[in-house]
Chains A and B, each alone.
Chain A
Amino acid sequence: MKDIHCQEIISTVKRLFIEANTELGQDMLDAFKSALAKEESPVGQDILNQLMENARLAKETKVPICQDTGLAVVFVELGQDVHVVGGGLKDAIEEGVRQGYREGYLRKSACHPFTRKNTGDNTPAVIYIDVVPGEQVKIIAVPKGGGSENMSRIYMLSPAMGIKGVKEKVLETVREAGPNPCPPTIIGVGIGGTFEQAALQAKKALLRPVGEPNPDPEIDRLEREWLEEINRLGIGPQGLGGRITSLSVHIHILPCHIASLPVAINVQCHANRHKVAVL
């Protein structure tokens, strides 16, 4: 049994959100570079250069990569031999978000759905806790912007529609989103499970570093094929026309009900931000 004080969780969550919002991962910087080499549109090249310069400036000046510093999504892998002391785990995460968004000068984007009144501190966070073996806590902070989330979709397809039907929905989602979700995007696809599981799998799929192949060779092949088809749409960086509409497609597959074929498509903008800590 290992004790972890909630204070440590608060300070870690706070640090992760500030870092995630100002330091883009090396996987994304590498992806921009290889996209620039492939992009034929001069406007598209200009945009990709701006994104690389933006990432450099954000890290240097600590001004966020994007003003939409997101809703605060937190994935926790909680070792079953961990004992959180000094307070509640969820309360600690909320407090870390509160402090991070205040002290990091991050935008507070959480509001009531109808009155639109801002909650003022970017809470409540969106928290998912998995209990796993061991005595460590892994925390992944994911600021998720609204523009790309708005272009995400979920469908309950008929099983007869199969792989072809799922691919059509993925392409349709990207085509209809056009410039709105800030391409070049990452496309998370959750296939199978129940209604809500498909959506959660789509979001979790986005956590895999861009450029890292899917461990399942069959799924990896699908990801590459769908990416190629997406990039034939011509939408391009910022939707202004070009070869690079998406940088990566990430698929998670789960068994589903014999009557169902759920598919969720979670669109992620190029500000693909997440930071991980293990306590």
Chain B
Amino acid sequence: MGNIYRLETPLKEEDVVKLRIGDKVLLSGIVYTARDAAHKRLIDLIEKNESLPIGLEGQVIYYVGPSPAPPGRPIGAAGPTTSYRMDPYAPTLIAHGIRGMIGKGKRSKEVVEAMVKHKAVYFGATGGAGALISQSIREAGIIAYEDLGPEAIWRFKVVDLPVIVVNDTMGNDLYEQGKERFRI
């Protein structure tokens, strides 16, 4: 495993350029959730030059559709969903300022190139560790697109959310390089 960093959102360029694949990051601050349906709406607004429900500069987007909050908790299970469904939209959001994405699974060439060009990173959270990740989420509220149900945009206040750098700003890919290392 690489280095361990504690980072606060919003992320600055200098926060992300030092990261390398395999580094573990404990993220704190605000992250916004969005899945495919919410991405589509954000991109439609950008194309029409209209204002967005969230500012994008330095933000981290978490690909998750949480389960409902049981009584006494801010949110239910909240692990990552598979990221490729967001690939058609991600380069535009990266070009408009986001510095990080949290999900699971491979990204397209276009997304990796956008990360290199605009200095952003892709973090992997542990898929299926929904109850564990839920512990890092201290506050949660829907801020847009409530009609999308589990696909609405949530604002999470997180403390030490554990993620691993999968794609860094140098174009490296932990899925490719990790697999090569252990292939027999």
Q: Which residues of A contact B (CB under 8 A)?
A: 40-43, 46-47, 50-51, 53-55, 57-58, 61-69, 105-109, 116, 118, 120, 145, 147, 150, 178-180, 182, 232-236, 238-243, 269-271
B76/A57 in contact, CB under 8 A = no
Interface string of B107-136 (1 = CB under 8 A from A): 000000000000000001011111110110
| Contact segment of B10-18, B53-61, B67-75, B94-102 | B67-75
CA distance A64 to B114 in the complex (A): 35
CB distance from A142 to the nearest CB of B (A): 15
Q: 7 other contacts beyond A105-B68, A233-B183, with CB at 8 A cut-off? A: A46-B1, A64-B130, A66-B128, A67-B130, A178-B105, A240-B178, A241-B182
Separation of A150 and B83 alpha carbons in the complex (Å): 13
Q: Does B178 contact A242, Cβ atoms closer than 8 Å? A: yes
**Contact A63 B130, beta carbon cutoff 8 Å:** yes
Q: B103 to chain A: closest CB distance in Å?
A: 10
Q: Flag if B77 contacts A147 (CB, 8 Å).
A: no
Q: Which residues of B contact A150 (CB under 8 A)?
A: 82
Bound Cα distance A8, B86 (Å):
43
Complex Cα distance A150/B134, Å? 24
Taking a contact as CB atoms under 8 Å apart, the answer to whether B124 and A240 are in contact is yes
Known contacts A47-B126, A108-B149: does B177 contact A63 (CB below 8 Å)? no
Question: Which residues of B lie under 8 Å from residue A235 when comparing CB positions?
Answer: 179, 182
User: In the complex, are the beta carbons of B84 and A234 less than 8 A apart?
Assistant: no
Contact residues on B (Cβ < 8 Å of other chain), bracket: 35 or more
Query: Which residues of chain A have C-beta atoms less than 8 A from B130's C-beta?
Result: 54, 58, 63-68
CB distance from B75 to the nearest CB of A (A): 9
* A17 to B: closest C-beta gap in Å: 12
Contact flag A239-B178 (CB < 8 Å), given A67-B79, A69-B67, A109-B150: yes
* Pairs across A and B, CB under 8 Å, 6 listed: A50-B132, A63-B131, A64-B131, A67-B66, A232-B183, A236-B182
* Of the residues B77, B124, B126, B174, contact of A63 by C-beta under 8 Å: B77
A178 near B127 with CB under 8 A, answer: no
Q: Is there an interface contact between B174 and A240, defined as CB atoms closer than 8 Å?
A: yes
Task: List chain B residues, Cβ under 8 A from A41.
Answer: 178, 181-182
With A107-B65, A179-B175 as known contacts, state yes or no: A64 contacts B77, CB within 8 Å.
yes
| Residues from chain A with Cβ under 8 Å of B166 in the complex | 240
Within 8 Å by CB of B178, from A66, A145, A232, A236, lies: A236
Which of B67, B81, B135, B175 has its CB near the most chain A CB atoms (within 10 A)?
A: B67
Top 6 nearest A-B pairs (CB, nearest first) are A241-B178, A234-B183, A234-B182, A58-B131, A182-B127, A67-B77
CB of A63 within 8 A of CB of B76, answer yes
Given known contacts A43-B1, A68-B81, A105 and B105 CB-to-CB distance under 8 angstroms: no
* Chain B residues with CB under 8 A of A40: 182
A64 to B, closest residue via Cβ: B77
| Mask: chain B, 148-184; 1 = CB below 8 Å from A; 0 = not | 0110000000000010101000000011011111111
Q: What is the CB-to-nearest-CB distance from A101 to chain B, in angstroms, rounded to a whole number?
A: 9
B42 interfacial by beta-carbon distance below 8 Å:
no
Contacts of B179 in A (CB 8 A): 178, 233-236, 239, 241
Point out which of A40, A53, A68 has the most chain B C-beta atoms below 10 A from its C-beta.
A68
